[in-house]
Amino acid sequence: MSGLGNITKKEIRELMTPATFVPIILVAAIFATMGNSIQGIQDQATEPPTIGIINEDTSSFGIIASDILHTRAKSVFNSTSLSELQEGLQTVKDRNGVAIIIIPENFTGRIIQEQQGTFQVYWIMRGAGIMDTISSGAVEGLIAYINTNISRELITQNSTVNASFVLSPTIRQETTYFKDREFVGISPNTISSMLSSQSLLIPIVIMMIIIMAGGIVITSMALEKENKTLETLLTLPVKRTSIVSGKIIAAAVIGLILAVIYMIGMQFYFSGFQFSVGVNLETYGIVLTSIDFIWIGLSLFLALIAGLALCMLLGTFAKNYKSAQTLTFPITMLAMIPMFITMFADFDTLPMALKIFTFAIPFSHPMLAPRALLFHDYTLVIGGLIYVAVFAIITISIVVWIFKTDRLLVGTTKFKWLALLVRRRR
């Protein structure tokens, strides 16, 4: 065999390991799942939205609007009287609808007088994620379509009509119901945009802290073994709990310092993208108080401790720096998954299985906490804190137990797949 062939064959044999392929297969699987979710969103967008219609206007433009709504949306409540609004809202809500649209009595009359006809839209908002606002976006598109049709009709009827009026013959008066609150004059998209702009930075920063500090812990354990310092450390008069805690605290401190540096840079980066939607949610009582920030800080601290304990657990399997790099992958994934979920969806509107999965990841909780606190959902925040604290205590106990056994030095493990992965990487 030629030198080139010999070397190529050897290199391929060394690279054909589970450690090389498992991470990329997992990444591919995650992206495939995300692709399916996006496809689901597209399907949802193409489906007619479920609405209720109250049409008090029996004249021409009212009929045009009503016909378009009936044709292009799935109407689950129809009425001609505003007095049935509450009943309509309840029906639409029960049928998972998105809004009830009211065409008032003077709708046509105002348009004929070249005054904007008013749609009264009562939105039923279920979640603040991007996915949750798809349906409301579809209704907004429908209203825009009605607007275009009325414009066309106006031009057909009277070519001398006021140009600026004809481009926008209707207007919306909106009220959004979200988490048992009434937001007068705001659409779901506006609320979603505001909440996203307020909380976009937090998941990214948390993800970076976890990845950075987690990497530090796993690498620290790997280097203790690679540099042959672990055996000495374990024979010194120091409690195993102190060794584990010391490593976690040090990594948490360094991780937080790195996060602050990172956050400063990201703050400038995101300030370039922030935009004003002309609404201040503070006026609706949606604002984080200083007490809320303490809750978020506590949630972040516990998640960091839990995450680092998990990293320590993984680090006990690391034999050297190279295998440590492999072991940071699951942590990276665990930090990225809740970040994407909180960006695209609202925890409350997730399917139950995904809800449990998200809740089970300790890193999810500081990402979920800000939005939950904005709406005073302390059950989720406190429940999350208790869960993460228990998770951290159990994980640290397992790590301390491993430190007291032969496993740390001898490397025997019942997790055969992990042992195989690490061994191949060595």
Shortest CB 416 distance to other proteins, Å: 13
Q: How far is the CB of 254 from other proteins (least distance, A)?
A: 13
Number of Cβ within 10 Å of residue 5's Cβ equals: 9
Q: Give whichever of 158 and 227 is closer to other proteins, judged by the CB atom.
A: 227
Q: Is 58 in the site for other proteins (CB under 8 A)?
A: no
CB-nearer residue toward other proteins: 95 or 407: 407
From the list 86, 113, 156, 235, which residue makes contact with other proteins (rule: CB under 8 A)? 235
> Can you tell me the distance from the alpha carbon of 375 to that of 177, in angstroms, rounded to the nearest whole number?
13
Nearer to other proteins, 235 or 379 (CB): 235
Q: Which stretch binds other proteins (CB under 8 A): 88-96, 124-132, 230-238, 373-381?
A: 230-238
Q: How far is the CB of 395 from other proteins (least distance, A)?
A: 22
239 lies in the binding site for other proteins (CB under 8 A): yes
Q: Are 133 and 192 in contact (CB under 8 A)?
A: yes
Number of residues that this document lists for the chain: 426
One residue of 234, 258, 277, 298 binding other proteins per CB under 8 A: 234
Looking at 26-34, 104-112, 316-324, 405-413, which segment touches other proteins (CB under 8 A)?
405-413
Q: Is 409 in the site for other proteins (CB under 8 A)?
A: yes
Footprint of other proteins on residues 143-182 (CB under 8 A)? none
Least Å distance, CB 411 to other proteins, is 10
> Minimal distance in Å, beta carbon 225 to other proteins?
10
Please pick, from the candidates 2, 86, 164, 232, the single residue that binds other proteins as defined by CB under 8 A. Answer: 232
Rule CB under 8 A: is residue 416 a binding residue for other proteins?
no
Q: Which range touches other proteins (CB under 8 A), out of 48-56, 128-136, 140-148, 227-235? A: 227-235
Q: Which of 318, 279, 341 is nearest to 411 (CA)?
A: 318
Token couple for 374: 């904005």
Helix spans in 227-351 (H):
230-234, 240-271, 290-315, 321-344
Applying CB under 8 A, among 4, 272, 410, 416 the residue interacting with other proteins is 410
Q: Which stretch binds other proteins (CB under 8 A): 261-269, 291-299, 350-358, 404-412?
A: 404-412
Q: Closer to other proteins by CB, 234 or 354: give it.
A: 234
CB 240 → other proteins: shortest distance, Å?
A: 10
> How far is residue 241's CA from residue 408's CA, in Å, rounded to a whole number?
14
Nearer to other proteins, 137 or 411 (CB): 411
Is 414 near other proteins (CB under 8 A)?
no
Among 3, 5, 237, 278, binds other proteins (CB under 8 A): 237
Nearest Cα neighbor of 248 from 403, 132, 83 is 403
Q: What pairs with residue 68 in β-bridges?
A: none
Stretch that binds other proteins, among 97-105, 168-176, 205-213, 407-415 (CB under 8 A): 407-415
| Stretch near other proteins under the rule CB under 8 A, chosen from 236-244, 258-266, 279-287, 349-357 | 236-244
Report the sign of the C-alpha dihedral through residues 152, 277, 184, 76, in that order. positive
User: How near is the Cβ of 316 to other proteins at its closest, in Å?
Assistant: 15
The H or E element spanning position 61 is helix 60-72
Look up tokens 């019942």; give the residue.
Answer: 414
The DSSP line for 98-163 is -EEEEE-TTHHHHHHTTS-EEEEEEEEE---STGGGHHHHHHHHHHHHHHHHHHHHHHHH-TTS-H
Assess contact for 74 and 48: CB atoms under 8 A. yes
- Under a CB-based contact definition with an 8 Å cutoff, are residues 108 and 117 in contact? yes
Closest to other proteins by CB, 115 vs 227, is 227
Which amino acid type is present at position 66?
S
Can you tell me which of 268, 291, 379, 406 binds other proteins, judged by CB under 8 A?
406
State the burial class of residue 383 (Cβ atoms within 10 Å of its Cβ: 0-12, 13-18, 19+). Answer: middle
Of 199, 254, 407, nearest in space to 316 by CA: 407
Task: Tokens 């056994």: give the residue.
Answer: 405
Q: Does 228 bind other proteins (CB under 8 A)?
A: yes
Q: How far is CA 176 from CA 38, 100, 406, in A?
A: 26, 10, 61
Which is it for strands 99-103 and 117-125: parallel, antiparallel or unpaired? antiparallel
Which residues of this chain interact with other proteins, rule CB under 8 A? 227-229, 231-232, 234-239, 405-406, 409-410, 412
